[in-house]
Structure 1
Amino acid sequence: MPRLTRRRASTAAALITVVAASLLTAAPAPAQAASLPTGFATVVNAASGKCLDAKAAATANGTTVQQYTCNGSTAQQWSFTDTGDGYVRVNNRNDTNQVADVADVSTADNAPVHLWTYGGGANQQWQPVDDGGGAFHFVNRNSGKCLDDPAASTADSTQFVQYTCNGTAAQRFQVVPVNQGADPDLGPNVVVFDPSMPAATIQSRLDSIFHQQETNQFGSQRYAVLFKPGTYSADVNVGFYTQVLGLGLTPDAVDVNGAVHAEADWFQGNATQNFWRGAENLSVTPTGGTDRWAVSQAAPYRRMHLRGNLALDDGGWSSGGYLADSKIDGRVNSGTQQQWLTRNSQLGGWTGANWNMVFVGSQGVPATTFPNPPHTTVAQSPVTREKPFLYVDGSGKYQVFVPSVRTASTATSWAGGAPAGSSLSLDTFYVVKPGATAAQINSALAAGRNLLVTPGVYHLDQTLKVTRPDTVVLGLGLATFVPDNGITALSVADVDGVKIAGLLFDAGTTSSKTLVEVGPAGSTASHTADPTSLHDVYFRVGGAGVGKAVTSLVVNSDDVIGDHMWIWRADHGSGVGWTSNTADTGLVVNGDDVTMYGLFVEHFQKYQTIWNGNGGRTYFFQNEMPYDPPNQAAWTNGSTQGYAAYKVADSVTSHQAYGLGSYCYFNANPAVTAAHAIEAPNNPNVRFTSMVTVSLGGTGTISHVVNNTGGPSNSATNVANLVRYP
């Protein structure tokens, strides 16, 4: 990819921790107090991210109850004593007889809250209304009004008041237990941080991991960095094969003040090789108001709440990314990012465009203006399931949350409170740790267990077989499966509701016919109510060494959801060459009614994607054709020059695709030509919207965009756009 002049923007850790804002919905009084922690907890305001605090750690009557930068002191630790009928007294740890009290038994808006010795007054009792995900709003028994951060102030020393309940973030509080229990054994490459740990200790460990992983593009090291619910001051720089995630039920449960970012220092600002990393389920207040996520493929920014702006480049080119189920309070600036998908997110705004920017089921995003600028917007996501994730509940127990399927959805799954779905105890999982064998994993699957695959590289001498409906296979830290002896790494039966997430499948030295198969050939069962879904699932042929696979992923089952996949025949690294890392096709879809969001397929030697099923839908497709055909004769499909990037079979009668980009860079022989990027039947129900082809640097030619329509992209005209077809 071409590079731009380097631009540096520094980030630094901050001293204040801020929790993200979210909407509230008032609820009627419960029969008993909501499920608050039984011990001491910090209480963090959602609008400010600051802690409920007894001013100057005082315990005298009249002491101001204020918000202040979270600091772990006992002045910021509170307990809840049930007073009956669904109400509690809120006790300060420095003197548990001192409670949060509305001054002068007032019922007026803006009446101040202070400490006072508990005497049983209604003005000293609060109804905790559970907003989900460990968040509550507190309704005063005397006035019926809510504990409130006035005017949603973010300033230290702002005194809390009562105010008419209005469902705003100023009245929402994240309640985080001070002591959260022991951790299960998640293997040697999972690092768990607790808010009680010194900030310097956390930062030192983060820096150590990043320095090892910053340039470690094809190494075998893998890490998952987990933050328990609470507040942190940290600069989290995310390198290769590092997944950073919060352990809350919503992103607001974990608050990082500082940065959670991906930079391209190691490559002089060029982020076109910033692959294989992720940030998930965190709330971040960035130093200086802006954070950076300068990445290309396989680097999702998922289920995040950023209390500021987000930059998607680092001065040089960035080449593809994925933002999903996230809330960005400020503006996203795409800069030199070449293509991007934003799905089911809420943005404060968007600036910038290059070749292909797609927005699906999102708010605060541009309208469709393709190709000038190249924005493509679809109002709703037809069918989605968010990625399963690990979390710690209020008792300190680890569980995996499995979000429900949503249809015709817009915006995030969590901003209104707890997401819809179900929790699975970690006891139902076989925790796969380095050294585990395929036989052990298969034995666990056969016994009905789910899989939590901890970071590592696992060689397989037999196919992993998922046969039970609703099985969850969740990888942490880019856990990697390598099939040996030409086997298929993973097969999924034609059953309901299997979830495969967070895994990298790396082809072995002996060619596999298929790396992953979802449903056996000829699958016909309907899974409309409970589809199988793949989330952040990546495939690699070559790069870390010689790898070979005829096809990476075959989807035979109906109704499958693809939620971000990068399927890559390596164009650089080890074992790379036209006759070395051989691979025909990235993806073959045989099932009907399959939906793909964020589909990246690159460099395969024949068709990149073949779609044989009816009713298919793709929202964003990014492709680079193979760089390395030695000559035209080596890359010819019958009488047709080259192979299409996206092939819809002649038998298909219905298909929709939005936002497709295909690029060529035939650097082994610039005279090579592809006849077209997309090949499809001429059928009014096979429809394409917003397509672009690019000859990168004029190195090679794509003659047409779809069939014999549109184009060319060549040395004279690098970029060709086509609004729709037919």
Structure 2
Amino acid sequence: MAPPALASGTTPDFGPNVKIFDPSTPVDQINSHLASIANEPEFSSNRHAVYFKPGTYGSSAGQDDPATATGIVNTQVGYYTSIAGLGSSPDDVKINGALHAEPNQAADGTSDSLTVFYRSLANLAVNPIQRPVGADAQRARPEGIEAPHTMRWATSQASPLRRVHILGNLDLTGQYGANAFGTELADSKVDRTVISDDGTTGPAQAQYYTRDSQIGSWSGDGVNLVFSGVTGAPRTNFGAGGTTTLATTPTSRPAPFLTINSGVYEVFVPSARTTTSGANWSTASNAGVRIPVSKFYIAKPTTDTAATINAALASGKHLLLTPGVYRLNGPIKVTRANTVVLGMGYATLAPSGGAAAITIGDVPGVVVSSIMIDASSGTDVLVQVGTRGATHVGDAVNPTALSDVFVRVGGAQEGSARTMLEVNSDRVILDGCWLWRADHGAGVGWTSNTVDTGLLVNGADVTALGLFVEHTQKNQVVWNGERGTTVFYQSEMPYDPPNQESWSDGTSEGYASYKVASGVKVHDAKGLAIYTLFMPSTFAGQPVHAASAIQAPTSDAVHFQSMTTAVIYFGGGIRHVINANGGAVDASQPNSVVYGMTAAARLVAGP
């Protein structure tokens, strides 16, 4: 029997891990709840989503001097927390205050953001008024101090900003200097300056991807800063400043989001776009489709199984995964075209017994967004799009899209897989995906959390925007499909090869991070940064090397632009950037210092 339809103005049952505020909620109550969820440990199993109904929250009285501000909404955003507005436009929800992310500070006062993961903001506007909060406010050097009209978001991977409007400056650095490895800013506006390195506090963001946005200006260089379709972006200056700027984004499908329309909860699913630039917040009928939440199956981690979820999908429902860890005994199976699977609060699929987490059939128009996946042991493929070996399907107007899909093997639990994400269908869009073989946490070791490949692409005309793939034991990415496109790629090779013999592709040293198959005739990739950090404790004094960071056919229609390699620390390195081209980086013979890295080589190639 279908559940009864919700009356207008009725809030669906999203479970205990979702909090919804309206403008009448006292600011102290809002801050108290946000503080209560701000200190989750890195591998916590708790998940949180916070939503703001349309309106204004907090006082703007202290905006010119944050030290005097009172009545502001002000919190650090912690692990596994997503905060979003419920309006049709980001400007429908205005926060006077700061929803900020700070670096980790060690006992000696040094800071870094290298593990500041898994948090997000979406669909709201912030008038930045930031002050230190909680334990940070009691430090001798609080991280949360900020200049007037400035909010900090000093994070690394899996911490996207989508559809946000910062009514001032956005600071991606630490107050006292903090290395970070970047994430994605998309479909957003920053009225003043985005600061990736202010030139005074030391190392900052090595990399960042900004897409289809509008900024006042950008301050700072990096290793790999990529802009596509960004009004106000700096000019391309990859050789000196690590910057690559594209006038437009070739194709994209922005992430879906929860909203309230005339008192009814809906999910707005944007349509695909081509050759775009600037922020587009339209929710008109020509910009996407509105799907009432009544057409979604609202899953709960404490009660739902793979069977109950798959039965709902088979009956024609879309899927809304409320926050929590779903310990399933089989994969979620999407077999119907145009199905939407949307996670809330870093909802996490953790299938047991080596099962896949999610499989998508040979159908177009599927949208999967904002989910995490933890592998168990012995998995073949964790996420599979299209059937292997089947006739590939795809629709340029209505493509399947995966956005903010974060896959990890090890770290939270023991696990292994052959491939994290396999794309067999054509015209799939991947946006902001991080595929991570864990380098710390539970079940981590060369023979424990084993993974061959992060991303395997067999389909044609597949586009990856903001792709992060790290630490797998063979090629991080293998691209077999024709006419693939990548805009921004970040990768670290595995930390822990025990010796060169154990990590060699036939007679070649190591494995290329990004491999385009020899038979591919057309491929395009721009803005690639590939690093090593080979741990001396594993290779016992005999450093390992990779022959090249990128392996691709030599063809006029295979294009690579703006590539860099670097040794972050310790020993070994990379002999070439692409094939046999580009200088070596080796820890024993540093030739430059780039954001704390002991060696770097850049190769700038035209389109």
TM-score bracket, normalised by the shorter chain, equals 0.7 to 0.9
Change (3 A) 1:504 1:391: same
* 2:405 equivalent among 526, 537, 555: 537
Partners in 2 of 1:491 and 1:265 — Cα distance?
A: 36
* 1:477 equivalent among 345, 351, 361: 345
Give matches, 1:46-65, under 5 Å: none
Q: Name the structure 2 match of 1:16.
A: none
Q: Name the structure 1 match of 2:28.
A: 200
Please give the secondary structure, in 2, of the residue aligned with 1:340.
strand
Partners in 1 of 2:570 and 2:238 — Cα distance?
A: 22
Q: Name the structure 2 match of 1:82.
A: none
Partners in 2 of 1:547 and 1:419 — Cα distance?
A: 43
Q: Does 1:719 align with 2:600?
A: yes
Give matches, 1:235-254, under 5 Å: 235-254=74-93
Partners in 2 of 1:478 and 1:694 — Cα distance?
A: 31
Q: Name the structure 2 match of 1:686.
A: 558
How many residues are treated as equivalent by the alignment? 542
Partners in 2 of 1:380 and 1:463 — Cα distance?
A: 37
Partners in 2 of 1:198 and 1:502 — Cα distance?
A: 29
8 A Cα contact 2:374 2:413, kept in partner: no
Q: Does 1:257 align with 2:96?
A: yes
* Structure exhibiting the larger radius of gyration computed from Cα positions: 1
Shift of 1:265: 4.0
Please give the secondary structure, in 2, of the residue aligned with 1:661.
strand
* 2:118 equivalent among 262, 265, 276: 276
- 1:302-346 Cα shifts (integer Å, max 9, x gaps): 110000001112121011211000000010010110001000010
Deviates more, 1:697-706 or 1:474-483: 697-706
Q: Does 1:397 align with 2:264?
A: yes
* 1:631 equivalent among 474, 484, 499: 499
8 A Cα contact 1:263 1:269, kept in partner: no
* 1:515 equivalent among 376, 382, 386: 382
Q: Does 1:446 align with 2:288?
A: no
Q: Name the structure 2 match of 1:328.
A: 190
* 1:677 equivalent among 530, 539, 549: 549
Q: Does 1:655 align with 2:483?
A: no
- 1:124-177 Cα shifts (integer Å, max 9, x gaps): xxxxxxxxxxxxxxxxxxxxxxxxxxxxxxxxxxxxxxxxxxxxxxxxxxxxxx
Give matches, 1:592-603, under 5 Å: 592-603=460-471
Change (3 A) 1:672 1:687: same
8 A Cα contact 2:534 2:569, kept in partner: no
Shift of 1:697: 2.6
Q: Does 1:183 align with 2:11?
A: yes
Give matches, 1:239-388, under 5 Å: 239-266=78-105, 268-287=110-129, 288-314=148-174, 315-335=177-197, 336-388=204-256
8 A Cα contact 1:305 1:328, kept in partner: yes
Give matches, 1:442-591, under 5 Å: 442-508=310-376, 510-522=377-389, 523-591=391-459
Please give the secondary structure, in 1, of the residue aligned with 2:312.
helix
Please give the secondary structure, in 2, of the residue aligned with 1:372.
helix
Shift of 1:526: 3.5
Partners in 1 of 2:283 and 2:258 — Cα distance?
A: 20
Shift of 1:373: 1.3
Q: Name the structure 2 match of 1:36.
A: none
Q: Name the structure 1 match of 2:568.
A: 696
Q: Name the structure 2 match of 1:615.
A: 483
Partners in 1 of 2:311 and 2:408 — Cα distance?
A: 27
Please give the secondary structure, in 2, of the residue aligned with 1:427.
helix
Shift of 1:489: 1.4
Partners in 1 of 2:560 and 2:264 — Cα distance?
A: 47
Partner amino acid for 1:200? D
Partners in 2 of 1:654 and 1:637 — Cα distance?
A: 24
Partners in 2 of 1:567 and 1:322 — Cα distance?
A: 15
Q: Name the structure 1 match of 2:299.
A: 432
8 A Cα contact 2:235 2:245, kept in partner: yes
Shift of 1:419: 7.9
Q: Name the structure 1 match of 2:281.
A: 414
Alignment TM-score, normalising by the size of structure 2 = 0.88
Partner amino acid for 1:496? P
Partner amino acid for 2:195? N
8 A Cα contact 2:224 2:528, kept in partner: yes
8 A Cα contact 1:413 1:419, kept in partner: no
8 A Cα contact 2:532 2:569, kept in partner: no
8 A Cα contact 1:619 1:657, kept in partner: yes
* 2:44 equivalent among 197, 219, 230: 219
Partner amino acid for 2:158? A
Shift of 1:666: 0.5
Partners in 1 of 2:322 and 2:373 — Cα distance?
A: 14
Change (3 A) 1:415 1:367: farther
Shift of 1:415: 7.1
Partner amino acid for 2:418? V
Deviates more, 1:263-272 or 1:437-446: 263-272
8 A Cα contact 1:326 1:344, kept in partner: yes
Partner amino acid for 2:345? G
Kindly, what percent of the aligned residue pairs are identical?
A: 50
8 A Cα contact 1:358 1:377, kept in partner: yes
Partner amino acid for 1:458? Y
Partners in 1 of 2:564 and 2:414 — Cα distance?
A: 32
Shift of 1:529: 1.8
Partner amino acid for 1:299? S
Partners in 1 of 2:333 and 2:426 — Cα distance?
A: 18
Partners in 2 of 1:622 and 1:236 — Cα distance?
A: 29
Partners in 2 of 1:526 and 1:210 — Cα distance?
A: 41
8 A Cα contact 1:536 1:563, kept in partner: yes
Shift of 1:266: 4.9
Change (3 A) 1:220 1:329: same
Alignment TM-score, normalising by the size of structure 1 = 0.73
Q: Which consecutive residues of structure 2, in runs of 5 or more, have no partner in the other structure?
A: 1-7, 59-72, 130-147, 198-203, 592-598
Change (3 A) 1:237 1:565: same
Shift of 1:413: 1.7
Shift of 1:242: 0.4
Partners in 1 of 2:582 and 2:275 — Cα distance?
A: 32
Q: Which consecutive residues of structure 1, in runs of 5 or more, have no partner in the other structure?
A: 1-179
- 1:359-385 Cα shifts (integer Å, max 9, x gaps): 001110011111111110111111111
Partner amino acid for 1:472? V
Partners in 1 of 2:606 and 2:499 — Cα distance?
A: 30
8 A Cα contact 1:250 1:418, kept in partner: no
